[in-house]
Amino acid sequence: MEYQDLAKKDFQYLWHPFTQMSDFTSCPPLIIERGEGIYLIDTQGNRYIDGVSSLWVNLHGHRRPEIDQAIEDQLDKIAHSTMLGMANVPAVLLAERLVEKTPENLTRVFFSDNGSTAMEIALKIAYQYWTNKGVSGKTRFVSLKNAYHGDTLGAVSVGGIDLFHSIYRPLLFPAYHAPSPYCYRCPLDKSYPACALACLEELEKMVESHRDEVIAIVSESAVQGAAGMIVMPQGYMRGLREIADKYGVPLILDEVAMGFGRTGKMWACEHEKAWPDIMALSKGITNGYLPLAATLTTEEIYSSFLGDYTKTFYHGHSYTGNPLACAAALANLEIFDRDKTLEQLPPKIQLLSQWLEKFQELSHVGDTRQKGLVAGIELVKDKATKEPYPREETVGFQVIYKARDKGVAIRPLGDVIVIMPPLVIPEGELDRLMEVIYECVKVVTEG
Ligand SMILES: *Cc1c(COP(=O)(O)O)cnc(C)c1O
């Protein structure tokens, strides 16, 4: 079908996520037809570096023969069967692999199909863990301002991005939101490291004063992604673990975005050995092939659900443990071992950080933040005062539309330009990606 016809039907029938549709129609849509390694190819044959890994899901590139094959092989057997009361071969094997690969204290895997559900499950498990133990009054989570845990209402309740979440507040359960560890715009007006992690102290006070009420501490791991790649300062994650231990509450870590090698280690919690009691995984789990998610727990939490029917975890989804998705995930994990993906990352991480230093010279780059192969570049109207651009200027979008014309597909978070390429991006292409973004930021912000 011709591009023009598809574009017309896109405008006519589709409702795009996180998109003001009345603006959307003012710009010709990008319609992807194929993928090849780190490239997206549109219906007109234009190639784009997939600079945000198809919204943070792709690790090893598109059309990986091993994963294509694993799905085909599974398709020859069965596409789907239920996990309610029975298992399937890839789900069993994947659960074993995930337990082997994740922190040692995590021993059980509950499957679902996206990051939001992985977090809903984490929240429900944590809540019911206490009721199963016969402890009452545990009704509040402590989570963070600027948190993003997905778009379902439980995940939104512990979320803390006002632009996305405040409209739903009347529908949500209340949660305590501790200050965001956003050093560039510190909510406590302090600066790191002189602050001695004062934001963490605030969180501790919250847990302490509500200790009988607190179900769990909930946080993204190492980086608050959707809020603009806010990298937690050194010691913050360790501090979360210590507070959880001190007050005897579980720590729920959302590794949906930062898991699977993004930050240079397999799990972002590894950097500070902040092992969670419950961990949510999704995005990278199938290399972006099929929807799948997993919530892992400790044996202690799992075993609190054993016994009579009142302790059962009454939760499941039609596609829980989908065999095609689990087969893709198994092949995806094998690639890490075979290609030594993580061992290849240090020079790329180094190159990215050199580029970010160069960006800091630009007159409208307020802050650059990096964790591994993930980065955010925060554009500001006034570098001295950190004054943001007015929202209606949509500076972030101007940059990405310019980059699109130069063969780079990226997606901003407000005025933060996000860089999150597939882990396999060669250094040459990473260089090109950064060069294009550099030029586009310069042209858009400096004219
Ligand atoms: C994307 C994301 C989610 C939600 O995952 P979906 O698959 O989009 O529902 C949850 N937590 C974090 C940290 C994320 O980045």
Rg of the chain, C-alpha, whole Å: 22
Model-wide pTM > 0.85: yes
Q: Which of 16, 53, 116, 153 for mutating ligand 1's site (highest number of atoms within 8 Å of CB)?
A: 116
Nearest ligand 1 atom to the CA of 220 is 13
6 located within any domain: no
Among 160, 183, 163, 240, residue whose Cα is nearest residue 207: 240
Verify that 272 and 358 share a domain, yes or no: no
Nearest ligand 1 atom to the CA of 255 is 13
171 located within any domain: yes
pLDDT at site 259: 98
Sign of CA dihedral 49, 226, 345, 281: negative
Verify that 253 and 374 share a domain, yes or no: no
Distance in Å, CA 427 to ligand 1 centroid: 28
14 located within any domain: no
Verify that 82 and 120 share a domain, yes or no: yes
Verify that 239 and 307 share a domain, yes or no: yes
Distance in Å, CA 76 to ligand 1 centroid: 31
pLDDT at site 210: 98
Report how far apart, in Å, the C-alpha atoms of 9 and of each of 1, 13, 66, 382 are: 11, 6, 34, 41
pLDDT at site 120: 98
Nearest ligand 1 atom to the CA of 155 is 10
Strands across the sheet containing 365-371: 365-371, 374-379, 416-419
Q: How far apart are the C-alpha atoms of 440 and 447, rounded to whole Å?
A: 10
Q: Is the CB of 259 under 6 A from ligand 1?
A: no
Q: Which CATH number fits the domain that encloses residue 94?
A: 3.40.640.10
- Which run of H or E residues covers position 72? helix 65-75
Domain stops at, among 287, 311, 339: 339
pLDDT at site 319: 97
- Which run of H or E residues covers position 143? strand 140-144
pLDDT at site 27: 79
Q: How far apart are the C-alpha atoms of 118 and 125, rounded to whole Å?
A: 11
3-class secondary structure per residue, 27-59: CCCCCEEEEEECEEEECCCCEEEECCHHHHCCC
pLDDT in tens, the chain (447 residues): 799 999 999 999 999 999 989 887 777 899 999 999 999 999 999 999 999 999 999 999 999 999 999 999 999 999 999 999 999 999 999 999 999 999 999 999 999 999 999 999 999 999 999 999 999 999 999 999 999 999 999 999 999 999 998 999 999 999 999 999 999 999 999 999 999 999 999 999 999 999 999 999 999 999 999 999 999 999 999 999 999 999 999 999 999 999 999 999 999 999 999 999 999 999 999 999 999 999 999 999 999 999 999 999 999 999 999 999 999 999 999 999 999 999 999 999 999 999 999 999 999 999 999 999 999 999 999 999 999 999 999 999 999 999 999 999 999 999 999 999 999 999 999 999 999 999 999 999 998
9 located within any domain: no
Domain that holds residue 274: 68-339
Q: Is the CB of 294 under 6 A from ligand 1?
A: no
Q: How far apart are the C-alpha atoms of 287 and 330, rounded to whole Å?
A: 10
Distance in Å, CA 115 to ligand 1 centroid: 4
327, 71 Cβ separation under 8 angstroms = yes
pLDDT at site 23: 82
Nearest ligand 1 atom to the CA of 55 is 1
Verify that 334 and 372 share a domain, yes or no: no
Give nearest CA residue, ligand 1 atom 5.
115
pLDDT at site 273: 98
Report how far apart, in Å, the C-alpha atoms of 12 and of each of 19, 44, 383 are: 15, 20, 41
Among 75, 110, 92, 90, residue whose Cα is nearest residue 323: 90
Backbone angles phi, psi at 140, to 5 degrees: -130, 135
Q: How far apart are the C-alpha atoms of 377 and 433, rounded to whole Å?
A: 14
Tokens read off for 317: 């989804």
Tokens read off for 154: 């439980």
Per the structure, the count of domains in the chain is: 2
212 located within any domain: yes
Verify that 347 and 329 share a domain, yes or no: no
Verify that 137 and 186 share a domain, yes or no: yes
Nearest ligand 1 atom to the CA of 282 is 7
Q: Which of 123, 149, 161, 180 for mutating ligand 1's site (highest number of atoms within 8 Å of CB)?
A: 149
411 located within any domain: yes
Among 54, 102, 80, 107, residue whose Cα is nearest residue 289: 54
Q: Is the CB of 267 under 6 A from ligand 1?
A: no
Verify that 282 and 371 share a domain, yes or no: no
